[in-house]
Structure 1
């Protein structure tokens, strides 16, 4: 899937490649980290690649968090048995809080899922959004920088 997204982004006219990266960043499991890599490998300036991937990731996360917040307010009495994955996320949330789950949660699940779950657990919507944006930016910058260094090494070799 990453290769297909990279090919799609590379095939766009240069002035529109950043839109391909925004779209890739909005996809769960691609997010800002792989979106920024896709942009760098497609030939975008690393700052533009990271920025576009972050914008896509943040936009999709916001839509889901705001939707989950609205649904939680409407249906706060649902007592279904949570799935094992949701139980594991809840334990991590209880142990590490919003900041910890936001910063480390992307190693297990996409930011869209972790953010939505935290809001459904009752975490403050604005705190979740703040820490998710911080996490999305940090992961995007880290992977974008690694991709830029890798491309630089290939060019030098």
Structure 2
């Protein structure tokens, strides 16, 4: 899948490749870290690739958070059983709070899912958005820089 996304990005005119990175980074499980790496590997300047990946991931995360917030406001709490992944996320949320889950949650689930889950657990929508944006920037920067360093080592 990553190769297909990379091929699609490089097939576009250079002026539109950053739009492809925005679209790619909006996909859960690809996110800012995958989008930044794909953009750098496709030959986009690392700063542009990282910025585009962050923008795509943030837009996608905002859609999930605002949707979860709207749904939570309309639906009463139910005592339904949480799935094993949501139980793990809830334990992380109870232990580390919004900052910890935002920064570390991407090791378990995509930012879109973790952010929506935190809002559904009762976290402040604004706190989730703030910390998720910080997390998305950090993860995008780290993987974008690593991809750029890897490309420079291959030359």
TM class by shorter-chain length?
A: over 0.9
Q: What's 2:58 paired with?
A: 58
1:25-104 alignment runs, 5 A limit = 25-104=25-104
TM-score scaled by structure 1? Answer: 0.97
By how many angstroms is 1:81 displaced?
A: 1.1
By how many angstroms is 1:108 displaced?
A: 1.0
Q: CA RMSD in A?
A: 0.6
Cα distance in 2 between the residues matched to 1:58 and 1:88 = 24
Q: What's 1:13 paired with?
A: 13
CA offsets per residue over residues 79-113 of structure 1, 9 Å max, x none?
21111111110000000000000000111110000
Cα distance in 1 between the residues matched to 2:54 and 2:76 = 31
Residue 90 of structure 2: SS of its match in structure 1?
A: helix
Cα distance in 2 between the residues matched to 1:98 and 1:17 = 33
Q: Number of residues paired by the alignment?
A: 155
By how many angstroms is 1:118 displaced?
A: 0.1
CA offsets per residue over residues 92-147 of structure 1, 9 Å max, x none?
00000000000001111100000000000000000000000000000000000000
**Residue ranges of structure 2 left out of the alignment (5+ in a row):** none
Runs of at least 4 residues off by over 2 Å: 76-79
CA offsets per residue over residues 60-88 of structure 1, 9 Å max, x none?
00001000000000002322111111111
